[in-house]
Amino acid sequence: MRRKKLSLRLWVGLILLSVTATGQPQTTVKVEPPSWWTGFRNPSLQLMVYGKGISGTIPVINYPGITLEKVEKTSNPDYLFLDLFLSSSVTPGDVSIGFLADGDTVARFLFPLKERKPGSANRKGFSPADVIYLLMPDRFANGDPSNDAVTGMSEKPDRRDPGGRHGGDIKGIADHIGYLQNLGITAVWSTPLLENNMKKYSYHGYAITDYYHIDSRLGSNDDYFALADQLHASGLRLIMDMVFNHCGSNHPWVSDPPDTNWFNEFPAFTRTNYRSAVATDPYASGYDFTLFRKGWFDEHLPDLNQRNPFLAKYFIQHAIWWIEAAGLDGIRLDTYPYCDKDFMAEWDQAVLTEYPSFNIVGECWVTTPGSISYWQKDSPNTDGFNSHLPAVIDFAMYDALRLGFMENEGWSTGTLRLYDILSQDFVYPDPDNLLVFIDNHDVDRYLATQGGNVRHLKMALAFLLTTRGIPQIYYGTEALMTTGEDKSDGNKRADFPGGWPSDSVNAFTGKGLTADQQELSAYMRRLLNWRKNQEVIHRGKLTHFLPVEGIYVYFRSLETKTVMVVLNNNPAEKTIDPTRYDEFLRDVTSAVDVMTGKRFNNPGHITVPAESALILELEKQ
């Protein structure tokens, strides 16, 4: 009940009861964004006003420092777009917006204009100093069983259904911040938390039906803001997952579109071809391109047309609103190449103008460094396109890590795959701003791709946490979560053990974990906590040696500090001949194994067990 009251209070700010001369409420009006702040670099603000027949009214704003510059209408009489100019002298307060019809004020709306938090514009985004923990809130922990089913939200919980709602929520995340901190991760990327009032598959969050409200089954906007504050107080960052390519088919826009070209539409349902490479292919046919960019992701995910200028502004302001309101440290942008790329470039620039040190990572699911690099800011693309997107996801390295340890070493197989991907980093304007990962919510868990081989998982994690880029870890990796025979999406996003009171195994406390699970989670804790303070890993120079006989060696070096990493992708123990690495080892007097703390004095020939990684901090006299 408490939650209901909170959300009702929130709505008071958003809903306007328009009043007739007799004082009777007539219609409701919704304004988005629901509030704003003074002090942004961009003095313009566009309000989307939605209400029955609202375009027949004359809006009036009397507030010092605010000018209503333009009122724009579309063919839909239920929408008005108000272009406001906020002068540098404007002060915070409730801005009264009146709507006149036949000389009477038929409606009035109080729009909150707030003061920004000090230093907000200088917020620093996530960086290679971070390790991102990706979780799906419905599947992580159920901190509040009372919100599992909510009146007015169509899908009810069913934990037995892999594609159903399981009841996890924001409180479940907040309750385990201490666990995450202890694990050693430094940032949380949660899949979308905005309302998905869909009949089914609403758990994943990518079918948004309200861009300004957290789904009430996950919590409230205030719960999300509090989560951000709690994470920050624990030294952790928060990354929000945003979706502009499509919304949920139950979004009010679908039955009552704000403009004629709000959606990309076809005479009959037309699916995208999902081939992101088409977006950058210089030889792409118009047919393939149209299908890729404008085809729908799924029947329940209508494809939004970001070329509509009202929609473009809506999403720019939506992002700035959430960054400012929640104090975000980053954005992960879903299905990036599926959106209009000129819009996305404009959006990136608008966000980074307000927050120059912020970071945004785009999901550009292409698998070669050439295709991926096209999407990174300042890439020297021959078509002149600059995305202005700072970070991209390294799907090329993901493929290499998935395949490499499962193969015999050869001319182009095994660890050479890792070497080969890194050797192409010259195409990236900023290779340190690549998000590296071994699995996420859209693919099989890494362990499943390795036939359950935990040694491979440890090698992959050792590599992920010592190579260049920003590592991302998928929730439950530390508890050896894997995907079995069931390859459905729901199963890739299974419940974290211990997140539900009835769970017999609890990975948060360690209760009921197998020896293997305990060992892997200790391995990760040690490595992650070590990495936190290793500037040599965050920004040190990377030098690698061609893999020979399944041994791949690389170094990270910064000023006087050097870290040596050895991967042994052989089914047998191997001894390393140091002479090959003389340029790094010649003055070394001792080395410390990061994982065991064991010190080697005058390290000579180093022995590495079968299928394992050795991470050594080198010391010189």
Contacts to Ca ion by CB under 5 A: 142, 144, 147-148, 167, 169
The residue type of 12 is: V
Task: Give the HSE-up count for residue 108: Cα atoms under 13 Å, Cβ half-sphere.
Answer: 11
Structure tokens at 280: 């950058």
Please tell me which residue in 78, 130, 324, 334 is annotated as part of the active site. Answer: 334
Query: Which residues neighbour 316 within 8 Å (Cβ) at sequence distance 6 or greater?
Result: 346, 347, 350, 351
Angle subtended at Cα 435 by Cα 430 and Cα 441, rounded to the nearest 5 degrees: 155
Residue number, 3 or 455, with CB nearest to Ca ion? 3
Give the residue among 352, 345, 353, 340 at the shortest CA–CA distance from 376. Answer: 345
State the minimum distance, in angstroms, from the CB of residue 143 to Ca ion: 7
State the minimum distance, in angstroms, from the CB of residue 167 to Ca ion: 4
Instruction: Say if CB 552 and CB 584 are below 8 A apart.
Output: no
Query: 512-526: buried (b, 16+ CB within 10 Å) or exposed (e) per residue?
Result: ebeeebeebbebbee
State the minimum distance, in angstroms, from the CB of residue 137 to Ca ion: 9
To the query of whether residue 363 is one of the catalytic residues in this protein, the response is: yes
Give the residue among 453, 508, 445 at the shortest CA–CA distance from 481. Answer: 445
State the minimum distance, in angstroms, from the CB of residue 598 to Ca ion: 45
Residue number, 153 or 594, with CB nearest to Ca ion? 153
Residue number, 35 or 147, with CB nearest to Ca ion? 147
Structure tokens at 522: 């200790």
Residue number, 148 or 334, with CB nearest to Ca ion? 148
H-type helices in 327-383, by residue range? 341-354, 369-373
**Residues 336, 292: Cα–Cα separation, whole Å:** 12
State the minimum distance, in angstroms, from the CB of residue 332 to Ca ion: 23
Query: At 78, phi and psi to the nearest 5?
Result: -90, 5
Residue number, 159 or 526, with CB nearest to Ca ion? 159
Cα-trace Rg, the chain = 26
Cis bond upstream, residue 33 (ω within 30)? yes
**Residues 419, 434: Cα–Cα separation, whole Å:** 16
Structure tokens at 204: 């994943």
SS3 213: strand
State the minimum distance, in angstroms, from the CB of residue 214 to Ca ion: 13
Residue number, 168 or 471, with CB nearest to Ca ion? 168
Q: At what angle do helices 309-326 and 221-233 cross, to 10 degrees?
A: 50
State the minimum distance, in angstroms, from the CB of residue 165 to Ca ion: 9
Residue number, 175 or 329, with CB nearest to Ca ion? 175
Residue number, 167 or 547, with CB nearest to Ca ion? 167
Ramachandran region, residue 152 (left: φ > 0; alpha: ψ -120 to 50; beta: rest) = left
Instruction: Say if CB 347 and CB 340 are below 8 A apart.
Output: no
Residue number, 130 or 495, with CB nearest to Ca ion? 495
- The CA–CA distances, whole Å, from 234 to 178, 332, 389, 423, 550 equal 8, 21, 28, 37, 41
* 484 membership: H or E segment, kind and range: none
State the minimum distance, in angstroms, from the CB of residue 145 to Ca ion: 5
Instruction: Say if CB 85 and CB 67 are below 8 A apart.
Output: yes
Residue number, 167 or 302, with CB nearest to Ca ion? 167
State the minimum distance, in angstroms, from the CB of residue 147 to Ca ion: 5
Do the bridges between strand 93-101 and strand 104-115 make them parallel or antiparallel, or are there none, so unpaired?
antiparallel
**Residues 578, 199: Cα–Cα separation, whole Å:** 62
State the minimum distance, in angstroms, from the CB of residue 223 to Ca ion: 11
Give the residue among 205, 141, 130 at the shortest CA–CA distance from 171. Answer: 141
**Residues 143, 58: Cα–Cα separation, whole Å:** 47
**Residues 463, 614: Cα–Cα separation, whole Å:** 10
Please tell me which residue in 363, 394, 495, 611 is annotated as part of the active site. Answer: 363
**Residues 247, 211: Cα–Cα separation, whole Å:** 9
The residues assigned a catalytic role are 334, 363
